[in-house]
Amino acid sequence: MQRGAEAVIRLREGSIVKERIRKGYRIPELDETIRRQRTKLEVSLLERARRAGVRVPDASMTDKYIITMGNIDGERLKDALNGMKRPEQTGVAGKIGEVVAALHSSDIVHGDLTTSNMILKGNELYVIDFGLGRVSNRAEDKATDLFLLWEALQSAHFEIADMMWKNIINTYALKYSNAPEVIKRLGSIERRRRYK
């Protein structure tokens, strides 16, 4: 069992079961509404991502607050990445750029783009945990998505972060038509954070 800020995750009969937990500090009626809406939204985002060509777990809402998903038999990218040789890392960076471009082209903002939320299965890259995601066409939201990814790379993969980032952004720019606007906003987010 894994416990996150929003949910408890269990492996049950070969499937991943994610249950949104009650928050004692919220009014019960409000808590129920928020949990139900976020669960429904996450399943919807997974389906939208799949239609966009992104590899995600099969998922269904099996209760008001429960999502049952297929278990992807692969390795968390966070664990796999540092042990790879440089050409493999470069290839994976390109895949990340493609995936983020596909999500953003479909107006999906993941909300927690980290290598912990990506699984490598053979040569295929899967994205998981859309629990903080939403639908947005705003360049600012997509730039924030990218900024979180950049911070995650700096934190978990410092030695290769710059090389990875360069390849991610180059691929993203090639694959997403609105990339120039998003990258421009990303620059302003970086400046705001630097001078905080």
pLDDT in tens, 68-77: 999 999 999 9
Q: Do 59 and 88 sit in the same domain of this protein? A: no
Residue 38, domain CATH? 3.30.200.20
Residues 62 and 112 in one domain: no
CA distances to 61, 96, 170 from 21, rounded to whole Å, are 15, 30, 39
Question: Which pair of tokens denotes residue 112?
Answer: 């927690």
pLDDT score for 143: 98
Domain containing residue 47? 2-70
Task: Please indicate, yes or no, whether residues 48 and 82 belong to a single structural domain of this protein.
Answer: no
Of 18, 50, 70, which residue constitutes the final position of a domain? 70
Domain boundary among 41, 70, 99: 70
For the segment 78-85, the average pLDDT, to the nearest whole number, is 92
Which of 70, 87, 105 delimits the end of a domain?
70
Residues assigned a catalytic role: 112
Of 90 and 82, more confident: 90
Longest dimension (CA), the chain: 52
Write down the mean pLDDT value for the chain: 94
Residue 145 has pLDDT above 80, yes or no: yes
What's the number of domains the chain is made of? 2
Quick one: 62 and 135 in the same domain? Answer: no
| pLDDT recorded at residue 1 | 75
Tell whether the model's pLDDT for residue 196 goes beyond 60. Answer: no
Same domain assignment for residues 100 and 159 = yes
Residue 60 sits in the same domain as residue 121: no
pLDDT the model gives residue 195: 58
Residues 147 and 81 in one domain: yes
Whether 115 and 30 map to the same domain: the answer is: no
**What is the C-alpha end-to-end distance of the chain, expressed in Å?**
38
Say whether both 66 and 79 belong to one domain: no
